[in-house]
Amino acid sequence: MTMKYRLFGRTGLRVSELLLGTMTFDDPAEAGRIVDAYADAGGNVLDTASAYGRSEELIGSVVRRRDRFVLGTKYTLSRDAADPNASGNHRKNLTVSLERSLRRLRTDHVDLYWVHIWDRHTPVEETLRALDGAVRAGKVLCTGISDAPAWVVSRANTLADWRGWTPFTAGAPGRPGLAHRAGTGGGRRRPAGRGGAGRDPGAGGAGVDPPPVPVGAAAGRG
């Protein structure tokens, strides 16, 4: 089977049809073997999050050809249960989480930075402006939002268009359980994000919309 690639939302970024989720990474040797096997198969998207234990740290230690992967991570979930500002989508948590993720991943930027889950207590304008600042600083290339109702993604990208901010390149529908815990009341719906890009976290798909495009192998190990 030959790996196929798709365009990521309304960008020219090529992503493999299968992404590698790294939430359960715990052992360096095993993580290295998995990343190598994935790269050998043509995969080029690594997905992690600030709340995934040692995942970011292990990716940073086993990925040597950083430029050959599309590296994505997420923030929102708590980094420190004793700190009320160590979770949420506000500017402070975004700034601290991003800097911590970059250190752990041993890189100066991430290709995709996800808002892990909708935070109804933080104005979406604050989140968008903070993400736009990270993009303009070169620390983030594309942004996405996961587990958010369609109207949130649609409103956010409308505001971004009006104000000249970076829009969400990808959006993921909220799962009922997460939606209710977040107070959204939303279900599994396809978001009206920019370009209609969607990522179903339950299916593990990348946030892409157009049909596959033939490109050469995009992944590389070290």
Q: Which residues are catalytic?
A: 52
Q: Catalogue the long-range contacts made by 63-68 (C-beta closer than 8 Å, 24 or more residues apart).
A: 63/35, 63/222, 64/221, 64/222, 65/220, 65/221, 65/222, 66/106, 66/107, 67/220, 68/39, 68/44, 68/218, 68/219, 68/220, 68/221
